[in-house]
């Protein structure tokens, strides 16, 4: 079998997200080589290129697209530029990986679709949660019918902190955060389409910035055409750390995936129609589940972590327990 060839990649956007992508490409992605970086901000591309030993840096995006070494392009510029950049890269005949969202309106999404179809280029949008540990397994569990008909779904994104509320553009929580949850809910409810949406949001983390348009906390309910009801929620400030989780509950069981589950965890009833409430079958998880899911007032010792399957300090069974939380009764 021949060895896979190396793909030469160009990156547009050398900001925070672009720098993260650049580092991942150069240090962790097999058979990928970052050969060029472009950013219109003077010096931004050059600094990042120098740090990662990337041979070419441009302030003119057209120069990167004309570079014969570049075969594919990763777009990590601010979201408002994504549609136009996709059109330019597609016209140049390069394969595209675009950070979400691909556009800010339905009309822009239509333009992206048209550009990709017209020029026949490969296109992938950055919905990474479909590939994160546990989520593909959860989808497979649902498609296999193990939870029955989906009835309730939930997806959560909680970021670990809001360092600069003034730098957050209006609607970011919907366009760049909850968009992951919308995709997750669609992913875990195959072939269904959303038919009704209701959203509520506020500035609960940094209320002083509400008048400037900040929304840092939001909940969205979605009804699908197969009858399922879904909830997506997001917060920009989880005191206990980054937290992404999903759950699908159906007529025959449920499946969960995310931060607290290294793999999907499915629970189903012992009998399809029990004469009385039945105990769930043992959950199929990556680690043993403690007998109690109540938070304990203090993190356990290193020894008890190993014995009880403790996932991380301050948590048990996926229930966060921060230092600022009120004391809770010891687990039984």
pLDDT band with cut points at 50, 70 and 90 for residue 311: very low
Average pLDDT of the chain to the nearest whole number: 84
Residue 190 has pLDDT above 80, yes or no: yes
**More confident: 200 or 275:** 200
Residue 251 has pLDDT above 70, yes or no: yes
**What does the pLDDT average to over 65-74?**
98
**What does the pLDDT average to over 159-174?**
93
Residue with tokens 């909830």, as numbered in its chain: 231
Yes or no: say if 69 and 56 are a contact pair by the CB < 8 Å rule: yes
Least confident of 62-76, 98-112, 154-168, 305-319: 305-319
All residues at 6 or more sequence positions from 29 whose CB lies less than 8 Å from its CB, including other chains:
none
How many Cβ atoms sit within 10 Å of the Cβ of residue 326? Answer: 6
- What's the pLDDT at 262? 62
pLDDT band with cut points at 50, 70 and 90 for residue 292: very low
Residue 241 has pLDDT above 90, yes or no: yes
**What does the pLDDT average to over 254-270?**
79
State the Cα–Cα distance between residues 24 and 30, nearest whole angstrom.
10
pLDDT band with cut points at 50, 70 and 90 for residue 259: confident
Tens of pLDDT, residues 77-111:
999 999 999 999 999 999 999 999 999 999 999 99
- What's the pLDDT at 273? 45
**What does the pLDDT average to over 251-261?**
89
All residues at 6 or more sequence positions from 215 whose CB lies less than 8 Å from its CB, including other chains:
170, 171, 172, 173, 174, 201, 202, 203
What six digits make up the tokens of 91?
């016209």
């Amino acid at each position: 079998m021949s060895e896979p060839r190396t793909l030469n990649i160009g990156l547009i956007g050398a900001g925070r997200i672009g720098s993260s992508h650049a580092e991942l490409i150069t240090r962790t992605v097999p058979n990928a080589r970052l050969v060029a970086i472009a950013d219109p901000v003077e010096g931004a591309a050059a600094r990042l290129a120098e740090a990662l030993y990337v041979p070419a840096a441009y302030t003119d995006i057209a120069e990167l697209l004309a570079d014969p070494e570049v075969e594919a392009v990763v777009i990590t510029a601010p979201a408002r530029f994504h549609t136009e950049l996709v059109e330019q890269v597609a016209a140049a005949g390069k394969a595209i990986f675009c950070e979400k969202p691909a556009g800010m309106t339905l009309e822009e999404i239509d333009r992206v679709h048209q550009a990709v179809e017209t020029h026949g280029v490969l296109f992938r949008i950055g919905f990474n949660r479909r590939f994160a540990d546990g989520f593909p397994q959860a989808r497979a569990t649902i498609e296999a019918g193990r939870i029955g008909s989906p009835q309730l779904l939930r997806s959560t994104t909680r970021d670990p902190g809001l360092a600069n509320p003034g730098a957050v553009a209006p609607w970011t929580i919907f366009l760049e955060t909850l968009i992951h949850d919308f995709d997750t809910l669609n992913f875990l409810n195959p072939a269904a389409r959303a038919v009704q949406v209701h959203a509520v949001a506020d500035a609960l983390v940094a209320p002083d910035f509400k008048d400037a348009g900040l929304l840092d906390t939001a909940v969205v309910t979605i009804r699908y055409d197969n009858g399922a009801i879904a909830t997506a929620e997001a917060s920009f400030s989880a005191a206990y750390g980054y937290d992404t989780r999903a759950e699908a509950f159906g007529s025959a069981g449920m499946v969960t995936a995310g931060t607290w589950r290294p793999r999907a965890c499915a629970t189903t009833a012992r009998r399809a129609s029990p004469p009385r409430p039945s105990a769930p079958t043992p959950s199929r998880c990556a680690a043993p589940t403690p007998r109690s899911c109540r938070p304990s007032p203090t993190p356990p010792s290193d020894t008890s972590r190993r014995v009880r399957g403790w996932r991380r300090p301050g948590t048990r069974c996926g229930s966060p327990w921060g230092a600022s939380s009120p004391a809770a009764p010891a687990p039984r």
